[in-house]
Amino acid sequence: MLATPWPAPFDDPAWVFELKWDGVRCLLSSDEGGITLVSRAGNEMTKRYPELSSVDIPSDLVLDGEIIALDQSGRPSFELLQGRLGTDLVRGGLSPVPITYVVFDLLHREQPLIELPLEARQEKLDHLELPVPMVIADRYCGEAQPMWEFVRENDLEGLVAKRLGSRYTPGSRSADWRKFSNFMQLRAVVGGFTRGTGGRAGTFGALLLGLVDGDHLRWIGAVGTGFSDKSLRAIRDALDQMLIAEAPFYTDDGLPPGAIWVEPRLVAVVRFKQWTRSGKIRAPSFVGFSGDPVAAVTWEAEGPGGFSQKAENAKTER
């Protein structure tokens, strides 16, 4: 179940509010055969997190939550989590880091629970004794503003609001769950890169980003900040395995000359300030890579029109 983007936080006694975690969404299920972890994209990733695959929890259980990595200040860091994503990008020496599984929903406990109201599922979840590195997410009822101030002061990702009485609807983006982001963020497909200069002569200058729009990518800009030295080398190694002769983008006079094209296989997560009138992202910064399928990263889903329409729908409903 996915949350719908919402323009701003609100106070309402019919809603509960949780932090929006900057990590990897994951369903954890346990049965007689052991524990299985599945990503939002449907990918099995049990071997990637052995500390979760070996926890001692009751059988016949399905949990929904977020795998996170904490930085030295105790804040979730998607950049740190890159060392655990298990893709070709870790070949450049990105090291594994400790993780925590933040659990926020209980979908099955000896029987399916998704038809129960939210508060009933959460009450059953609160009675579970979960071992380290698993924790149950804190939640607050009625007031979002104090949490929102905490998010802004600590530069956290955002908040999620969930309507009391709502059921869990798998596979849908429901207005019963609403997310408020502290910054604009999107997924974009990497279709090429520019040559690096100076200290980046051996890696790259920027990644060229696009969104699926029909048979090609629609160019939305380039991101050249947010990379560590290790990630620059690891990403360039991966890009070199994907080189192609023709651009995967539609013809665009704004594409930088001398760009190097790659197969559109990597999905990047990028933070940015705003959309320009020409449909480009302003002041982007690289966050990490997502395991989401390329086909889902479309202009309709991630572009400014889609977001604006969602915001307008939110205003209309309220």
How far is Cα 318 from Cα 308, in angstroms, rounded to an integer? 16
- Which residue among the candidates 20, 124, 179, 310 is catalytic per the annotation? 20
Task: Determine the pLDDT at residue 309.
Answer: 37
Q: What is the pTM for the complete model shown?
A: 0.69
Widest Cα–Cα separation across the chain:
60
Q: Token pair of 91, please?
A: 């070949």
What structural domains and CATH numbers belong to the chain? 2-181 (3.30.470.30), 184-314 (2.40.50.140)
Task: Determine the pLDDT at residue 37.
Answer: 96
- Helix (H) or strand (E) holding 315, with range, is helix 304-317
| Cβ neighbours for 64, distance < 8 A, ≥ 6 positions apart | 1, 25, 26, 27, 103, 104, 105, 106, 107, 168
Query: Could you tell me the CA-to-CA distances from 295 to 220, 221, 239, 298 in Å, in that order?
Result: 16, 19, 19, 7
Walk along the chain (318 residues) and give the pLDDT tens digit of each residue.
Answer: 999 988 899 999 999 999 999 899 999 999 988 999 999 888 899 988 989 988 999 999 999 999 999 988 888 988 788 767 654 344 444 446 899 999 999 999 999 999 999 999 999 999 999 999 999 999 999 999 999 999 989 888 899 999 999 999 999 999 999 999 888 889 999 999 999 999 999 999 999 999 999 999 999 999 999 999 989 999 999 999 999 999 999 987 789 999 999 999 999 999 997 888 889 998 899 999 998 999 999 999 999 875 433 333 333 333
**Beta strand extents in the chain (DSSP E only):** 2-5, 12-20, 24-31, 34-39, 61-68, 100-109, 134-136, 140-142, 158-163, 173-181, 184-193, 207-213, 216-223, 260-261, 267-272, 274-275, 281-282, 285-290
Task: Determine the pLDDT at residue 94.
Answer: 40
Task: Determine the pLDDT at residue 302.
Answer: 94
Q: Is 230 a catalytic residue?
A: no
